[in-house]
């Protein structure tokens, strides 16, 4: 029976929940807002499938056969590109699978914008729900089981998610399928849904209105200086650049990532997915001809299936091959786990009694010397450009 003794050893992928033959495992939120499995000992038959399937306990992090091809790319459809976090390549890959009569699994916000859950879509209209990065951990639910049923009936499936979710899917399936396409992301780490929950309550109380839409990667002020955009029922909008928005500041300072993110073994070059997608940070240095600050994806292909899927979108994108290593080295989250900041424990203790804005502000405040140093470095970078 699965029992989580060390939270850093559970990424919340739901493989154990999906594999349990008696459905005795539920996911329960801890005080930080992250989900962990909890088995009902009355229903458990001690088959140990939950422990055997766990990709972390069994250190199933890599695919030794993983290929390393790199491309810079963006969708030619400008609307789609602006609605996407980087170059919109995710939507093109999904469209290809939908055209085959397949199903796409990915992360969507719940209608109240409080949580992110994995869902399946079968048509291009619904694909909009999966578009764009949502910066909180997505709940997989029974999606591994649903994907397996579709694959066993011969249907194509594209499953997208964080590298640990893709690791969980393969651990659950136990094998690859010809018609399974997996797409992961270069993942900074997943922030606490509890912090987001409190943050949205804070934004709502400031506006005295309900939330009507959320987009974490608004490109109005440019892709490289993206903003968090939140629409309200009174027609107003909150729009703040990621460096100025409190939630994004705490997320990018690694203050409230899931404990397992600090020990993530899935951040490897030998990815299990067919395709890894990321922001092509540093494109202005490597391929300035493809940089118009409206978003470019780094497409990292690992298999023949991934390559075929990518090229099936050939007429719908602008792309150029590159040495994958050049993009990997410019993307700090590609192969290195975040470091646990010393402020993390203090933050989670503060947020129990203090308002979310004040807690984030307190634990992300930089000493004045550091702030000035960073500002000077940004100015220097701009001048060099």
Query: Cα(26)–Cα(283) distance, rounded to whole angstroms?
Result: 43
Q: Could you tell me the smallest distance in angstroms from the CB atom of residue 372 to ligand FAD?
A: 26
Taking the C-alpha atoms of residue 246 and residue 255, their distance in angstroms, rounded to an integer, is 12
CB of 138 to ligand FAD, least distance (A): 4
- Of 39 and 261, nearer to ligand FAD (C-beta) is 261
Please, which residue, 53 or 214, has the CB nearer to ligand FAD? 214
Among 131, 198, 219, 267, binds ligand FAD (CB under 6 A): 131
**Binding residue for ligand FAD (CB under 6 A) from 211, 333, 338, 360?**
333
Residue number, 334 or 364, with CB nearest to ligand FAD: 334
Q: How far is the CB of 45 from ligand FAD (least distance, A)?
A: 32
Q: Angle at which helices 163-173 and 143-152 pack, to 10 degrees?
A: 50
- How many residues belong to the site for ligand FAD (CB under 6 A)? 35
Least spacing, CB of residue 184 vs ligand FAD, in Å: 8
* C-beta closer to ligand FAD: residue 66 or 273: 273
Q: Which is nearer to ligand FAD, 185 or 356 (CB)?
A: 185
Name which of 63 and 165 has its Cβ closer to ligand FAD.
165
Per CB under 6 A, 86 contacts ligand FAD: yes
Closest separation in Å from C-beta 151 to ligand FAD: 18
* 185 vs 214, beta carbon nearer ligand FAD: 185
Task: Identify the three-state secondary structure at position 82.
Answer: helix
Considering only residues 50, 98, 107, 211, which one is a binding residue for ligand FAD as defined by CB under 6 A? Answer: 107
Nearest to 62 by CA among 160, 184, 144: 184
> 51: how many CB neighbours lie within 10 A of its CB?
14
Q: Candidates 151, 169, 173, 185: give the one binding ligand FAD (CB under 6 A).
A: 185
Select the residue interacting with ligand FAD from 12, 70, 102, 106 (CB under 6 A): 106
Rounded to an integer, what distance in angstroms lies between the CA atom of residue 53 and that of residue 122?
Answer: 28
Q: Is 160 in the site for ligand FAD (CB under 6 A)?
A: yes
Contact 22, 55 (CB under 8 A): no
d(CA 58, CA 52) in angstroms, rounded, equals: 7
State which of positions 242-301 bind ligand FAD (CB under 6 A): 277-279, 281, 297
Measure the N-to-C terminal CA separation of the chain; round to a whole number of Å: 57
Half-sphere exposure of 159 (CA within 13 A, CB side): 28
Minimum gap (Å) between residue 133 Cβ and ligand FAD: 4
Residue 193 touches ligand FAD, criterion: CB under 6 A? no
Binding piece for ligand FAD, criterion CB under 6 A, among 79-87, 218-226, 282-290, 305-313:
79-87
Q: How far is the CB of 46 from ligand FAD (least distance, A)?
A: 32
Identify whether the C-beta of residue 57 lies closer than 8 Å to the C-beta of residue 9.
yes
Contact 214, 109 (CB under 8 A): yes
Least Cβ distance, residue 21 to ligand FAD (angstroms) = 27
Is the separation of the CB atoms in 328 and 301 below 8 Å?
no
Contact 162, 187 (CB under 8 A): yes
H-type alpha helices, the chain = 15-19, 49-53, 78-82, 89-99, 143-152, 163-173, 193-207, 246-252, 283-286, 304-311, 324-329, 344-350, 356-364, 368-384
φ, ψ dihedrals at 121, nearest 5°: -130, 150
Segment 161-180, which members bind ligand FAD (CB under 6 A)?
A: 161-162
Q: CB under 6 A: which stretch of 7-15, 128-136, 286-294, 338-346 binds ligand FAD?
A: 128-136
Let me know: does 75 contact 317? Beta carbons within 8 Å. Answer: yes
The distance of closest approach from Cβ of residue 6 to ligand FAD in the complex, given in angstroms and rounded to an integer, is 22
Closest approach of ligand FAD to the CB of residue 86, in Å: 3
Q: Is 84 an interacting residue with respect to ligand FAD (CB under 6 A)?
A: yes
- Nearest CA among 300, 291, 296, 266 for reference residue 279: 296
Contact residues for ligand FAD, defined by CB under 6 A = 84-91, 106-107, 116, 130-136, 138, 160-162, 183, 185-188, 190, 277-279, 281, 297, 331, 333
């Amino acid at each position: 029976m699965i029992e989580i003794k060390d939270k850093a050893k559970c990424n919340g992928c739901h493989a154990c929940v999906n594999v349990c033959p008696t459905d005795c495992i539920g996911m329960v939120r801890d005080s930080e807002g992250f989900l962990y499995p909890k088995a009902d000992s009355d229903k458990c038959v001690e088959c140990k499938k939950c422990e055997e399937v766990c990709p972390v306990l069994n250190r199933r992090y890599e695919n030794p056969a993983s290929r390393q091809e790199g491309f810079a790319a963006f969708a030619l459809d400008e609307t789609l590109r602006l609605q996407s976090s980087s170059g919109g390549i995710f939507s093109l890959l999904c469209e290809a699978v939908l055209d085959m009569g397949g199903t796409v699994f990915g992360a969507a916000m719940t209608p109240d914008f409080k949580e992110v859950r994995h869902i399946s879509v079968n048509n291009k209209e619904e694909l909009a729900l999966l578009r764009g990065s949502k910066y909180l951990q997505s709940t997989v639910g029974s999606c591994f089981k649903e994907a397996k049923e579709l694959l066993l009936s011969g249907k194509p499936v594209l499953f997208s998610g964080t590298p640990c979710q893709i690791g969980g899917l393969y651990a659950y399936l136990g094998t690859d399928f010809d018609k399974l396409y997996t797409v992961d992301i270069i993942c900074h780490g997943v922030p606490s849904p509890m912090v987001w929950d409190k943050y949205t309550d804070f934004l709502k109380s400031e506006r005295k209105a309900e939330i009507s839409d959320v987009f974490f990667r608004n490109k109005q002020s440019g892709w490289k200086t993206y903003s968090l955009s939140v629409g309200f029922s009174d027609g107003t909008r909150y729009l703040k650049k990621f460096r100025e928005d409190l939630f994004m500041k705490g997320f990018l300072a690694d203050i409230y990532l899931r404990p397992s993110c600090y020990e993530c073994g899935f951040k490897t070059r030998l990815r299990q997915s067919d395709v890894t997608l990321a922001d092509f940070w540093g494109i202005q240095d490597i391929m300035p001809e493809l940089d118009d600050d409206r978003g470019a994806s780094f497409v990292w292909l690992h298999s023949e299936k991934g390559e075929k899927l990518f090229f099936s979108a050939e007429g719908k994108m602008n792309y150029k091959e590159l040495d994958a290593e050049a993009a990997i080295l410019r993307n700090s989250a590609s192969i290195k786990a975040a470091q646990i900041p010393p402020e993390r424990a203090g933050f989670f203790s503060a947020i129990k009694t203090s308002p979310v804005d004040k807690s984030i502000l307190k634990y992300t405040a930089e000493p004045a010397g550091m702030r000035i140093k960073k500002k000077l470095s940004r100015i220097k970078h701009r001048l060099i450009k």
